[in-house]
Structures are given as structure tokens and as C-alpha cells.
Amino acid sequence: MFGLKPDAALELPENYYVLDDYEKGIARWCDGCGDHAVLASVQKLCREEQLDPVKTVFVSGIGCSSRFPHYMNTYGFHGLHGRAFPVACGIKHRRPDLDVFVITGDGDCCSIGAGAWIHAIRYNVNLTVMLFNNEIYGLTKKQQSPTSRIGTVSNTTPRGSILPPLDPMQVTLGVANASFVAQTADWNPAHMHATIKAAHAHKGFSFVHILQRCPIFQPELVNELTSNRDNICYLKDDNGITVSEDIEKTFKHSAPHDPSDINGARQLAASEEKIYLGLFYQGKNKENYDDYGAHNLGVTVEEKTAMLNAEFDKYGI
Amino acid sequence: MSDTTNIGSFFIEDAPEIQKVIGTEDVPLISSDFTSDITVPVLREVEPADEVEMKKAWKSIRSFFRNGNSKKSIKNSTPLLSLPYQSDAFTASDYPIWISDVVGDESCCRSLQELLTEAVSEATGGVESSILKNNIARIVKTVDESLAKSGEVTTFYSCILAALDDLAKRLSIPGDDGKKFDKHLKRLRKVIPTHGILVPYNSNAGFQIFGAMLQQETGRRSQQLSDKILKLKCKLQGQLAIDHEKEEQDPKELESTLSFASELLDFEKVSKVLPDAGAVQMSASRKKRLEDTIAKLEIADKLLKNKAFVFIGDDQKTPESPDWKLLLGDVNIKSFKKGAGYTTIKKAFEQEIEQWTLVIVGIQIAELELAGRYMEDVHDEYFESLTWRDFSEDEITSCPPFVLIASEEYIADSEMGEFSKILSKGIPIRSLVLKNDIEDAYKSNGVETESNFSYHQELGAFVISHRNAFVCQSTAIKPLVLYNELKNGLTVASPGAFFLLSSIRKKPVDSYMWVSAAVSGREYPGFTFSGNMNSHWGSRFNIDNNFQAENVWPIEEVIAQKGKEDETITAHFTYADFATFLPKYTSFFQDVEQCYWNENLLELAQYLKLDKEEAVGKVPFIWMADEKLHLKKVAVAWPLVLKCRERQDFWRFLQESSGVNNYHVKNAIAKAEESLGVIAAEKMEALKAEHQVELQAAVDEAAGQAMDNLSAVLLDMDAGTFVPGSGSSAPGKAIEKPAASEESDTPEVPTEADSPAISMAAEAYIDTALCTSCNECTNLNGSLFNYNDDKMAFIADINAGTFEELVEAAELCPVGIIHPGDPVNNNEPGLDALIERAKKFN
């Protein structure tokens, strides 16, 4: 319309939040741990999106990464091992107005919580999920995790692990109704931030697999990952994760990939050649289970009782 | 899981029945508190009706189309393209605006948003993102709200200070961010102007802008003129004074001026001894002319008191009329009786201009005299017969402007003839012609009269036909554009007419929206026409101040939701869309239920393009949306289609005059294309061949160079250095993009070769953008290393730590982004070993 700007109906929130508003306590992760980078990135995302701290929830399971909710000055639930997803799905079902983030680790998600994980993907509830994968159990001082590489020497595998690792990307891409699957690395904070931001913007189960460093228990792995730039390949697409030109230059290799191509995504995930960073797959307009869970919100207890009684009355003799 | 166990589902199915039981019919079953608001229009999925029903329905639709007798109301619907602006939320227009009340400001009319953005960037030192910058919209909103409460013009400074205090209080930002924010606020308070007024959008906004423009322009002009006159007067008086000095002087008088030394000199004798100065006195006629000229220039002092003359008709004295005295400020306001406007203003103009003629003559004579170019035989006669018609444009516009303010209806009904006379005689009198929505033309009288569909009179086009006048038709929707248009009108010597549409509506559509729709729907298109005999006809027109001036009707794409999918709808904003805001047209719109939509229902903009034969059986519609944002097709009746055609016709007149889709231009282009096509094709072939040859040469050359570079790199390779994103790309790539590889490859080779020669001390730095916020370095030394606003590390103070700490941090940093550089303090113990360790990271 003449003289009217496109962003005309601009609703300004009551408050303006700064980084301090999202920070709580001192993060008790080891110095050099990748978790710090994710925390900083998520706090920045909250500030950028001006998320209301009282309308934001971080749900985690058990593990180093799962201490995350303690350091966010929002609501949080640090609860049951492997059960971050059911709790988060429950919250989102009954409180669709909340922004729900799930923080989980390789043990929490891929081992004890694998069952819940698979179904959460299929439910496609509107959550932002971050899987911190450091390929080791750090909190309990170095035991092998399902994602540990063959030969990983740990307290439970003193002669090196023997089973091939589980790939969270392949699993997620293999489950029906997957809607957003991305991979990033904590040592490229710009790319990680762009990825988490895109995940947050997506409606549905946005799964971000974060390759995360544990410099204490996996120092060699960290060294290899961060120094060998030949292994990493940046997925480039206008609909994918886009970073500034300067950041793009930090990648030695880049490859085109259309995020709507699920078969291509599965091939990338299965590829042993390189680790691809970027958006593997995004499917829009997929079914969201929480859309169905929210239909009778706002019904009071009295009303529910009355409804039940009315229903029972049908069977009265 | 069976359906019966799903409590939710059986609640919904039985909801009406259950509600009967619990008896709370008012309470909605689903609370809207939790469900997110729908913001996208929804296209429902509806099965089309069966053939019999369709036929029946279409019979009634066609009957409506012919007669325009709809009984159904479209009250709660809104045209699709105006949908986003219907909410009560903060509207992003240019309002409120800041208008300077001090003459001499460079830009005296600015939008508050723009003014604040500039001031904030100055206050924050131009940083990309700051809390203050992110909250400019909030400040504007606060000001907007406080202005809406009073609904009146407010002093800028007090209002903005209150808004800033409110912002600081509301945000109450903790910690370091808060301190920084306070500092920025403090600086902002110093940067913003302390004068001026804030004007919200209301029916008077346009007049306010007119008043401000009049004040600024006339103030500036009278200032310039009085400066000029003062200078001329001083110089003339100087000349007279010199002449006076040249008169023979009595030695006695001289003696009296030198009281203390008078006894030392005999002035009688001295005057006899001294040679005669030999000065020739000016002629009596010149002396008289100079004295007359000074007298003429002195008239200006009195005349300059009147900055402008504004004549307002009796018809503007209704209670709804604006308070002109307040709006126009310090100008001479006079009123006139009905029918006597132009005669009154013409008379007053002639009287005033007679006086001004003396002043202008005075200036011209003074300038000639001072340049020593006044020739009595030529100029005496010339100045005797000089009238204002002989004035230059500058001279005319330096006289105070004469403005007549009246409504469009008044001029059309009572003064058309006189209006035309003023225009054709070229008398520089300006008319501010008002049109507003309370005039009869827009009144809802419930009875449709034939006059509703007659052609618009278009007084603007009437003025254009006089060819030498300045015309602008505008609204206050874009205040800065309006300001400049009015200013341009005032700085030309020709007569002018400014047409201004305003609205005093509140509900259901507010005045801003209404006026905006009137412009968008081509009901009141904006244009300027600057009459000037020396220019091309087409160059006199400007229609930029319209919504999508290149199109017949504005066109936009809207994304609607259809089930789970998005559907793009291309919608036009036609005159009919605007007409939905006019109550008198209600019966010409009828909602067509979705089950009856078929190919015979055509969007109005498409329908208007059809021939008579093609249009048979078709019914035009416009896209609308109801309160639930459900999309509707609303049929438009035939009488309104005629009206749309009429508006389209006037708009096409303006478009073609300004060169958009011009008939002659189109023909000329077609002809030129035809004749040039053959030549161009030949040329193209030749160029293609040439290009192919050049391309091959470039590829060959680049491939060779890339191989050279590669071998150079391989021979000279330093295994330890790594340059991110370096151009050491594979030769295969280089061949694909010869230019890029040349750029990135060549400089690298010499730098590596040259590096030993450079012996500058390297500074320590961190690649902050790549920091992972892991606390390694900040825990090592929190003063040396610190986090920025984004929690990413940088070197805060190089002197706060040792080189050893720098090197240690570089070794600890898990992503290797700390570069220790060269030591700052050369006395540190064990430097040699440290420098060796640091090498890896530099």
C-alpha cells in the first residue's frame, strides 16, 4: 500500500533482553570444552530473537552437556537419563506457547534414550534439539559411548572399542517424518550459530548434531578434528546454512547440496570420506504431533468433569 | 489407540451437546491464549457445488452484477492487499515527523525514525549493533503513543526526553551492557536537536507541512533579501558620504574638529598651501537618483514584515476546519466572501506588488550604480516603465507569496472562471485546494444518484491545460515528498495549484489508511506538473509519488495457506478495493460463496482488460479477507466497473503523459526494433565469434599460468604455514575460472619470497569471529584476554600480561586462533625459547 512499509504491523515486546538476562552462574565445564561454545551461541540466539526467558524452556537428560539448563537463566528441566525427549514433547503439547529446546549428549540420546529419540523424530514436535556428540562419556570419566570410534581406548574398553559407531545423522535421516537434520561443529562458532538459528526458525523437530570436543578425555580426536581441514566439507546452498564469506573461507572444501533431497542427505551421512557440515535435510509442511495435542487447551477442570460425566451418562441405565 | 480412548477427540465431537449440559455457551471450548495467532490468510478447501445448484447461484450472481443490489454486507471484510495494515499494531509510516521551527535548518522536515537513526549512529560511534539502535522502533512507538493520546502537535525536545527516560526505565538493563547503554543515552540526549515540533499523522498533517514550508521558505527569503538590501543601502550611503566629503569645507569647521591641536596649526593658511583635492562631485541628477534609490530600498523594511499573504474563504470557517492561524503561524491571514476569492487576492496582489516593484527597481538601480554601469539615457526610461512582469524568476519569488485556500468543490462551483483567468494571465498566485472525505462526493446518503458514476472533474488536469502553471496533487502520506513538492511550487514564478487530499476518519478505517488506499486505488493519484515553456511536455510530468506507478493497478503477491500447503495469490489493488471503504457503494459488492467459484469469476483487473465479447458471461471480483482471515472472492457490480474504467482512464492519461506505456513511444520502439533487428543480429554473430576466440586465448593462458604458479608453490613450499581460504586451489579449478585464480594465486608467491625482508614487529591478535568461548585464555589472564559483547575473546590489554602468557594461551586455545606476534617487552626472561614456541601460531 502507498506510504506503508512492509513491516507495518510491528509488535514490540514489553522488554528488551541482553546477554546477561540469559546467563546464570559459572559454567562448570572443563576449560576448552566445546560446550562453552554452544552455550555462548545459544545465549546469543536468545538475545537475537529476544526470547522471553519466562517463555523459554531447556530440557536435558544426563551427562556433561545436560548440565546446560543450569547455565541458562530461563526455565529448565535437568531430569531423567535418556528421557529429555518425552519431557520436552509433554511440555510442548500442553504449552505450545513456550519455546522448547532439548539438550542431549551421545550417551543420553543414542544409548539409553534411543527409543525416545526415534519416536520424538517421528512425532515431529516443534522442538529445537541439540545433540552434543563428543564420542565419549565425560561426566563419568571416560567410558565408551555408542558413537565412539573403533579402537577408542576407555575405562570400559581398555584394549580399544570393537563395535562400529552409531551415526546419529544416519539414524535421524532414516526415521519417518524427519523434518530438519543438520550437522555442525562447535569449533566453528559462526557456522554453529547459523545452524542453531535455522533450527530454531524451523517448525518441527529440528535436529542439530554438534560435533563437540572433549579435550580432556579425547585429546587426540580433538586435535585430529580441528587441525585436519581436509576431512571437513561445508555444504553450500541458498536454502541451507549460509555463513559470511570470511567464514566460508575457513573451510577448505565445500560441496553443493539441496536440503530438500533426502536421498542425497542420506548418502552424505553415510559417506566415510568426509564430515559434512550444514543442513542435510529440511522438509516443510510435515505433520506436527503437537498440533493435535493442543486442541483442547484452556478447558477447566470443572468443564472436563462435566464432559466426562456427560459421556458416562450415555451409558446410564 | 482407538478413538474412544482419545479424550480430546470425543470432547470435540460432542462439544455442543456437552456445552448444553454445562451451560457455559459463552466460554469458548478452545481458549485462544495458547494457540499462536494466525497471520497468514487462509484459503479454505471447499468442494464445488453440484451443477444444478451452481446454475441457480450463478443466476443470482449475474443478476447482482447487472443491478448492484446486494443485500449482504461486506462490513467485516477488508481488501486482501490492505490486510496487513488493518491491525492496531504499530504502523511503520514516516510519522511522527519532526519539523523545524527555526529558519535556516538544512533539512527542516524529517521522519522521527530517520532523525533518531542518524542521531543514534552518531551517539554510539557508528557501531553495527547496539541496544540503543535495536530499540529505535521502541522510542518511536513511545512517542507515537504519547502523540496519539494528545492527538496534537508537541514540542520535540520534551517529548523525546520523556521517551528516552521511559526507555531507560522500561529496559533497566543490568551490568556492563547497562552502563554502556546509559553512556549512549547520555550522548544521544546531546546529539538530538533541542528545537522543532513533532507532528503526528492526522487530518491536519498536510496543512502543518504546508505551514512549516511557508515559514521556512519565506523566512529564508526575507532574510536573504533584507541582508542584500542592507548591503546595497550601506554602499549607496557610502557613495553619498564620499560625495559629501568632496564638498568644499570651511577651514573653521576643521579647526573645531581638532580641538586640542587647534592652536598649533593655522588652518586658513594650510588650506591655501595644500593642493586642491581635485575631486569631481557627482551630478545633481545622480545624487538625487541615489537618494531616491535609498528611499525605495527603505520601503522594503516595512514590506518585509509581511512574510506571506494567505486568503481563506468563508467556507473554511466550519467547526471541522483546521485552525489556520495556528497552522500557518506568522503570516498575514485574510478572509474573503463567497465568489470573490480570486478578485480579492488579485487586488491585494496588485497593490502589494506595486510597492515591491519600487523595491526591486531600487535594487536593480543600486546594483547598476555600484557597478558603475548606470546609463541615464537607457536606464531612466527603462525603469520608468518597469512592471513586475519584467521581473526575473528570482525577483518574483523574493516577493511574499500569495496563497488562496479553498476546497475543491468551492472552486469548481463558484470560482472556476476567475481561477482560470489567474492561471492564464500567469499571475503568481498559489491555490491550496483541499479535498477531504467529508465532502459530498464521499458522503453516504443511502441513495445512489447518477452523479456517483460521472467522470471526475479533475481540477488538476484543468490546471495542466493552462500549461504555464505548477500543479501538484498530493497527500500527507509521504510528508517529505509533500514538503519538497510544495517547496518547488513556491520557488517558481508561475501560478501554482496544490491539491491536497486529507481525511478525518477514525473508524472503521483510519484516515491514514483511507488516504493511502485512495492513492493506491488511483482515486487520487499523486502527480506534479511544472509548467515551463522551455521544456518538453513529457518532462513536466512526474508520477513517482504513487504506489507502483509503472502499473495500471498496483499488484502484489500474497502467500495464503491452503491446507498444509502455501498458495501464492496475485492480487491487484483497484479502485473497487478502495471503494469498499466507502459506505455508499456497499450494495455493489457481494461475497460469492466458495462453492460457486468457477472460471467465469475473473479478477477485476483482468476483467477490465477484456473486450466486450470476451467479457460476456464473466463477473469480476476482488480478493478480500474476513476477520478470521479467510479469503473471499467478492463480486463487483457493473456500475462500479464503469467507475473503475473511468479511474483507469485518468490514470492512463497521467501515465502516458509521463512516458509510461506511451502509445507513441510504443509504436516508435516497435518500428525501431523491426529495423534494427537485422543489424543487431549480424552484429551479435560477429561479437560471439570474437568472444569465442578471446575466451579460448584466456583459458590457454590461465592454464599455463596456473601450472607455473603451482610449480612455484611446490618448489618453494613452507609446510608450516597455512593461509585460510588460500588460493592454492587445484589447477583444474584454475582453468575453470581463469580470472579468479590469477588474482588469488599470484600475490601469494611473492609474499612468501619477500617475507624475510619485512622486519616489522608483528602485533598479537585473536581471530575473534572463530572463538569458541571456552574460557581457556580468560581463565589464564582475565585482564589480558576478555570477552566482547558476543562472548568472544579479544586481546583487551597487551600490557596486562607477559609474552609467556600469550604463548601459553596460544598453545592452550583449542581452536588455535590466538596469534602471540612479537614480544612487546624485550626484557622478559627466556624470550628466545618463547619466540620459538610462538612461531607455530604466528
Asked if A12 has any chain B CB less than 8 Å from its own CB, the reply is yes
Secondary structure, 3-state, B553-583 = CCEEEEEEEECCEEEEEEEECCHHHHHCCCH
| CB contact (8 A) between residue A3 and residue B546 | no
Cell 617487552: give the residue. Answer: B825
User: Are residues A310 and B21, on separate chains, in Cβ contact within 8 Å?
Assistant: yes
| Statement to judge: residues B560 and B689 lie in one domain | no
A21 interface with B at CB cutoff 8 Å:
yes
* C-alpha span between B473 and B498 (Å, rounded): 6
Angstrom distance (rounded) from CA B390 to CA B426:
13
Q: Which of B148-152, B367-371, B502-506, B811-815 has the lowest mean pLDDT?
A: B502-506
Cβ of residue A297 closer than 8 Å to a chain B Cβ: yes
- Whether residues B774 and A247 touch (CB distance < 8 A) is answered with no
* pLDDT of the residue at B605: 93
Specify the pairing of strand A253-256 against strand B589-592: unpaired
How far is Cα B502 from Cα A198, in angstroms, rounded to an integer? 45
Q: How many domains does chain B have?
A: 6
Would you say B543 and B658 are in contact if contact means Cβ atoms under 8 Å apart?
yes
Verify whether the Cβ–Cβ distance B771 to A311 is below 8 Å: no
Structural domain boundaries enclosing B29: 1-35
In terms of Cα–Cα distance, which of A154, A237, A139 is closest to A194? A237
Residues B560, B637, single domain; the answer is yes
Amino acid present at B720? G
Q: Which of B535, B488, B493 is nearest to B394 (CA)?
A: B493
Cell of B83: 490486510
Contacts (Cβ under 8 Å, ≥6 apart) of B390 = none
* Least CB–CB distance from A18: residue in B36, B81, B131: B131
**For position B372, what pLDDT does the model report?**
86
Mean pLDDT computed over B181-209: 89
Nearest to B712 by CA among B765, B752, B673, B652: B752
**Is A44 at the interface with chain B, CB within 8 A?**
yes
The answer to whether residues B106 and B189 belong to one domain is yes
Residue B257 is predicted with a pLDDT of 67
Residues of B in contact with A7 (CB under 8 A): 92
Q: Which of B524, B815, B841 to mutate to test the interface with A (most CBs of A within 10 A)?
A: B815
Last residue of a domain, one of B661, B678, B700: B661
B352 — pLDDT class (breaks 50, 70, 90): very high
Residue B279 within a domain: no
For residues B120 and B180, membership in a common domain is answered with yes
- Which of 3.40.50.2000, 3.30.70.560, 3.40.50.970, 3.30.420.40 would CATH assign to domain A19-288? 3.40.50.970
A5 touches chain B (CB under 8 A): yes
Q: For residue B584, with 0-12 CB atoms within 10 Å meaning exposed, 13-18 middle and 19 or more buried, which class applies?
A: middle
Residues B417 and B320 in one domain: yes
Are the beta carbons of B85 and A222 separated by less than 8 Å? no
Long-range contacts of B661-670 (CB under 8 A, 24+ apart): B662/B538
Q: Which residues of B touch A68 (CB under 8 A)?
A: none
Rounded CA separation A51/A16 (Å) = 9
Tens digit of each residue's pLDDT (9 = 90 or more) over B681-718:
888 889 999 989 888 888 888 887 877 777 766 665 54
Q: Specify the pLDDT at position B562.
A: 86
In this predicted model, which residue has the larger pLDDT, B496 or B27? B496
> How far is residue A18's CA from residue A73's CA, in Å, rounded to a whole number?
12
Nearest Cα neighbor of A259 from A173, A185, A196, A186 is: A173
CA distances B434 to B37, B492, B498, Å, are 41, 21, 8
Partners of A3 on chain B (C-beta within 8 Å) are 93-94, 475, 477-478, 512, 516, 519, 547
- What pLDDT band is residue A39 in, cutting at 50, 70 and 90? very high
Provide the mean pLDDT of chain B: 81
Q: What is the pLDDT of residues B606-629, one digit of tens each?
A: 999 999 898 888 999 999 998 888
Same domain, B585 and B650: yes
Across the interface, whether the CB atoms of B772 and A295 are under 8 A apart is answered: no
Tell me what pLDDT residue B163 has. 92
pLDDT-based confidence at B276, cuts 50/70/90?
low
CB B334 within 8 A of CB B310: yes
Note the pLDDT tens digit of each residue in A265-289: 999 999 998 999 999 999 988 999 9
Sign, CA torsion B523/B527/B530/B531: negative
**DSSP assignment letter at A23:** B
Q: Which residues of A touch B24 (CB under 8 A)?
A: 303
Whole-number pLDDT of residue B348: 93
Residue B122 lies in a domain: yes
Q: Are strands A127-133 and A99-105 parallel, antiparallel or unpaired?
A: parallel
What integer is the mean pLDDT of B750-770?
A: 65
pLDDT confidence bin for A10, thresholds 50/70/90: low
Partners of residue B17 in chain A, C-beta under 8 Å: 310
A220 touches chain B (CB under 8 A): no
- Residues in B touching A187 (Cβ below 8 Å): 770, 772, 814-815
* Partner B contacted by A174 (CB < 8 A): no
First to last CA, chain A: 65
Of B641, B661, B681, which residue is a domain's last? Answer: B661
What pLDDT was estimated at residue B98?
92
**Is pLDDT at B17 greater than 80 in this prediction?**
no
Evaluate if residue B652 carries a pLDDT over 80.
yes
- On the question of pLDDT at B35 being above 60, the answer is no
CATH number at residue B820: 3.30.70.20
pLDDT for residue B277: 54
Which helix or strand (DSSP H or E) is residue B603 part of? strand B601-603
Q: Please check whether residues B327 and B427 belong to one and the same domain.
A: yes
**Over residues A44-69, mean pLDDT:** 95
- CB-nearest to A16 from B131, B141, B176 is B131
d(CA B94, CA B482): 12
* Residues of chain A contacting residue B776, judged by C-beta atoms under 8 Å apart: 31-32
- In 3D space, the residue among B490, B483, B491 whose CA is nearest the CA of residue B212 turns out to be B483
Of B467, B500, B495, B462, nearest in space to B481 by CA: B500
> B138–A12: do the CB atoms touch at under 8 Å?
yes
**H-state helical runs in B385-465:** 393-398, 408-414, 416-425, 459-464
Question: pLDDT category, B21, cuts 50, 70, 90?
Answer: low
A250:B770 CB<8 A: yes
Q: Are residues B223 and B118 part of one domain?
A: no
The residue with greater pLDDT, B686 or B32, is: B686
Nearest Cβ partner for A303 among B22, B178, B812: B22
Residue A248 contacts B where some CB pair is shorter than 8 Å: yes
Tell me, what amino acid is at A3? G
Confidence grade of residue B11 (pLDDT, cut at 50, 70, 90) = very low
pLDDT digits (tens, 9 = 90+) for A159-190: 999 999 999 999 999 999 999 999 999 999 99
Is there a domain that residue B534 lies in? Answer: no
For A94, name the nearest residue in chain B, comparing CA atoms only. Answer: B34
Indicate if B291 and B349 belong to the same structural domain: yes
Cα-flanking dihedrals φ and ψ of residue B94, to 5°? -80, -5
Query: Closest Cα to residue B31, out of A282, A76, A300?
Result: A300
- The model's confidence at residue B273, banded by pLDDT at 50, 70 and 90, is low
Q: Per the domain annotation, does B542 fall within a domain?
A: no
Is the CB of A3 less than 8 angstroms away from the CB of B792? no
Q: What is the DSSP string of B187-200?
A: HHHHHS-SS-EEE-
Instruction: List Cα–Cα distances, B455 to A286, B438, B466, B527, in angstroms.
Output: 54, 19, 20, 19
Mutate to test the interface with B, among A1, A36, A229, A313 (most CBs of B within 10 A): A1
- Write down the pLDDT at residue B410: 87
Mean pLDDT is lowest, of A142-151, B157-166, B250-259, B833-842, for: B250-259
Q: Does A292 touch chain B (CB under 8 A)?
A: yes
- The per-residue pLDDT of chain A, averaged, comes to 92
Residue A98 to chain B, least CA–CA distance (Å): 9
C-alpha cell at A14: 514489553
Q: Using pLDDT thresholds of 50, 70 and 90, give the confidence band for residue B453.
A: low
Q: Is the pLDDT of residue B379 over 70?
A: yes
Task: Indicate the domain borders of chain A.
Answer: 19-288
Gap between the Cα atoms of B590 and B484, Å rounded: 42
The tens digit of pLDDT for each residue in B213-248 reads 888 888 888 888 999 999 999 999 998 888 887 776
CA distances, B610 to each of A212, B463, B597, B602, B614 (Å): 65, 33, 19, 10, 6
pLDDT at A59: 97
**Is the Cβ of A315 closer than 8 Å to some Cβ of chain B?**
no
Which of B165-179, B268-282, B463-477 shows the lowest mean pLDDT across its residues?
B268-282
Q: What is the pLDDT of residues B486-518, one digit of tens each?
A: 999 988 889 999 999 887 776 667 788 888 889
More confident residue, B272 or B549: B549
Residues 125-164 of A with CB under 8 A from B: none
At residue A12 the predicted structure's pLDDT band, cuts being 50, 70 and 90, is: confident
Cα–Cα dist B574/B652, whole Å: 13
The answer as to whether B801 is a domain residue is yes
* Same domain? B643 vs B702: no
Contact in structure between A299 and B11 (CB atoms under 8 Å): yes
CA distance A266 to B289: 100
CB contact under 8 A, B812 and A31: yes
Q: Of B200, B235, B270, which residue is a domain's last?
A: B200
CA-nearest residue of chain B to A10? B90
- CA closest to A286 among chain B residues: B564
Residue A292: is its pLDDT beyond 70? Answer: yes
Q: Is residue B256 part of a domain?
A: no
